[in-house]
Amino acid sequence: MRASDLLHTRPEGLYCPPGDFFIDPVKPVERALITHGHADHARPGHAKVLASDQTLDIMAIRYGGDFCGERQIAALGETLDLNGVKITFRPAGHVLGSCQIVVEKDGTRIVASGDYKRRHDPTCLPFEVVPCDVFITEATFALPVFRHPDTAEEIARLIESVRQFPERAHVVGAYALGKAQRVIRMLRDAGHDAPIYIHGAMQKLCDYYVSQGVDLGELRPATIDRKQKDQFAGAIIVGPPSAFADRWARRFPDPVACFASGWMRIRQRARQRGVELPLILSDHSDWDELCDTIHETGCSEVWVTHGREEALVRWCELQGIRARPLHLVGYEDENE
């Protein structure tokens, strides 16, 4: 069958007419298949939700146990039948529980990759290349300027700064789901065994990661006794980017403002945020990884979702691969 008959866009999101389901819908629907737990992809209010067990757990942590009417676990690699459409969930390497969704019917296979990365991440399963006819890819960093550096080297820069400025606190802005836990785990892998302090908004998600076998070492709440402000001298504190907009980060002793994001490649963004130590550390693929992934799938057509759609579509055309933007709305990349 034609790929456009198997999946196409509607105001609610990407829709499969024969299967009667949506993938990462932005509005409440009868049946939603969810790729991962970030709020722009996993919204509450659907009647039925099919996702990995970890994504379902994360949605319950973020929205409460009644985030949907009925939930169903999609076991990795297990093929399900939804009204004659075959559905398989495969790892996406984005955050804990993140998946690509493979949609097949009448000899046509489409892979909706959701958000994904190709770099090593000790906190989640790695991306798995799935051969397909149509590959649906994000384009968050789909410009040649975005070539992420080695992540271990970025973590080493943070550790070296702590060594150079032992009297200062290092406050790291990192998205609460995925990025924060990855930064903490990579610090541990690099030999940083001191307690790491976290913003209260991260506690439940960090606890969940630990319950899933991700060792984050000793974590302590980043609460300040005003009589002992210097207790955070030389400490690393991890908090959500939103916390930097209020007075929270300024409570610590002469803080070094750090921000872990692929957007730190753009110096103007770092300056606008007042970031002293930008850490180019992304949970999305960079330009080369996006292009390599498209080739590796062997697809003959690419659909590009949110991000720098035009550049990636043009690159595909130059490679002789049909491509088009989906112009899906409601997905954000600022806090990646």
Q: What is the pLDDT of residue 43?
A: 96
pLDDT digits (tens, 9 = 90+) for 175-211: 999 999 999 999 999 999 999 999 999 999 999 999 9
What is the predicted pLDDT for the residue at 206? 98
Band (226; pLDDT cuts 50, 70, 90): low
Quick: pLDDT tens for 118-168. 999 999 999 999 999 999 999 999 999 999 999 999 999 999 999 999 999
Neighbours of 70 (CB within 10 A): 10
Retrieve residue 277's tokens: 């130590």
On the question of pLDDT at 250 being above 90, the answer is no
pLDDT tens by residue, 92-121: 999 999 999 999 999 999 999 999 999 999
**CA 32, CA 170: separation in Å to the nearest integer?**
40
* Angle subtended at Cα 76 by Cα 174 and Cα 6, rounded to the nearest 5 degrees: 95
Q: pLDDT class for 54, splitting at 50, 70, 90?
A: very high
Backbone region of residue 3 per phi and psi (left: phi > 0; alpha: psi in -120 to 50; beta: other values): alpha
Q: State the average pLDDT for the chain.
A: 94
Q: Is 80 exposed, middle or buried (0-12, 13-18, 19+ CB in 10 A)?
A: middle
What pTM, to 2 d.p., does this model score?
Answer: 0.94
